[in-house]
Amino acid sequence: MKMEIESNHSLSEEDVKYRFISPAIERAGWSKNQIRMEYYFTDGRVIFQGNVHARQKGKKADYLLFSAPNQPIAIVEAKDGKKSVGGGMQQAMEYAKILDLPFAYSSNGEGFLEHDFITNQEREITLLKFRK
């Protein structure tokens, strides 16, 4: 019986993270205690309508990478396989600015797009060449 390999383009964001992004981050030398996944870094806005209020969802990083305890250095925004490698870059950059991080990454599981706030340069990196 022949098994077909599923195209990355049909994968959900969660599948892309599990199959491609997490392994690439770990292969690059990031230990599990340097990685936070699904990390909420803001509370949601409170919306008032008359006497009723509700809280919206907070902002959440798909991955927050730490160079040392309590010292985040980079954010990685994951997208499903239908999006481009840089499909999450604007969101990653917005979050990196809020958290005052020097690096923002976007990935769809095919590679990474890196924005370096120190040099203000962007570059595409393959999954295998992603480094700590």
Band of pLDDT at residue 26, cut at 50, 70 and 90: very high
- For 2-20, the pLDDT digits (tens) are 434 456 778 899 999 999 9
Task: Please count the structural domains in the chain.
Answer: 1
User: Does 85 fall in a domain?
Assistant: yes
User: Does 62 fall in a domain?
Assistant: yes
- For 73-107, the pLDDT digits (tens) are 999 999 999 999 999 999 999 999 999 999 999 99
Q: Quick one: pLDDT at residue 122?
A: 97
Three-class SS of residue 53? strand
User: Does 4 fall in a domain?
Assistant: no
Write out the DSSP string of 99-126. Answer: HT-SEEEEESSSEEEEEETTTTEEEEEE
CATH of the domain at 118: 3.90.1570.30
Single pTM value for the model: 0.85
